[in-house]
Amino acid sequence: MTDEIPEALRSVSCTRFDCGQKCGYQFFRRYVLGERKPPTGALVFGRSDDEAKNTVYDHKIETGTTLDIPECQEIFAANFEEKSGDVEDWGDDKPAELKDLGVTLIGHWRETCAWSTNPVMTQKRFGLPINYRTSGGDAKSFTFEGVLDLVEDVTSVGRVITDNKTSKRKWSKKNVADSTQALFYGVAAEREEELVELGVDPDQFHFHVAVKSKVPQLQAPATDPAMVRHTDAAERQGAIKRMALFHQQVEANMANDSFLPNRSHFMCSRKWCGWWSDCEKAFGGKVKE
């Protein structure tokens, strides 16, 4: 692909796909105009949790040992404090309480999950070229991009991709089934050279979900089989078709300047969208609190 092709058409990622399905206007501001908004407290919490777990797993890959609970908690706290300065509006969140909650959750994760997990690699970046033809026969292409949280060895199962999540509530089977990552990353496991060489199973994707409840909870396949998403070759081929259709949709929307807001989406709110004020000015009405 050449430099003349707009950035928004060069690649498709799970994040871009999900954003485009959620709200065309938000996608337009973020990925077509390239605008960024300051992170929310929830985003800082999630990033701090993710980076702390990566650090612990990287140490385990290098040494074969798992850092103890206080060390894991110190890593989270340091990450959270460093990133907190980027938040302009905490809303109803209280930074000190979020930090304490994260420290508690990381300790629980270390005690219940980290010690028994056998990491192979963390933060694996990939870029897969996807070539396709439109219904009119035109040749198109884009790069499917992503970053894998973790590849792990699971006893009696083999090597699988695992994603770390934080959530206010316990995940259900529907959360797992609806995950774009769980489906699309199976395509990466099936096609990306290094993942194929490692023998990563494309047919299953695992979740480790840290639930931000008063009593710490960790959902993982070892105790909750619903945290595994199974796919097959036909469904993964369908995922590629969905990416291709999305790519065409973005191209058409850019040509027609037709990125519409989706006020009916449950995440359309002033809390979750940094462009809500501009959306009201452009399209009228009120975005819910």
pLDDT tens for 42-87 read: 899 999 999 999 999 999 999 999 999 999 999 999 999 999 999 9
- Among 117, 75, 115, 122, CA closest to 99: 75
Map out the domains of the chain as residue ranges: 8-37+259-283, 38-116, 119-258
Residue pLDDT, tens place only, 176-231: 999 999 999 999 999 999 999 999 999 999 999 999 998 999 999 999 999 999 99
Q: Which residues contact 29 (CB under 8 A, 6 or more apart)?
A: 35, 275, 278
* Distance from the Cα of residue 277 to its chain's centroid: 26
- pLDDT at residue number 92: 84
Strands 158-167 and 200-211 come out as: parallel
pTM of the model: 0.93
In 10 A of CB 97, how many CB atoms?
10
- pLDDT at residue number 69: 98
Residue pair 195/188 in contact (Cβ under 8 Å)? The answer is yes
Residue pLDDT, tens place only, 238-274: 999 999 999 999 999 999 999 999 999 999 998 889 8
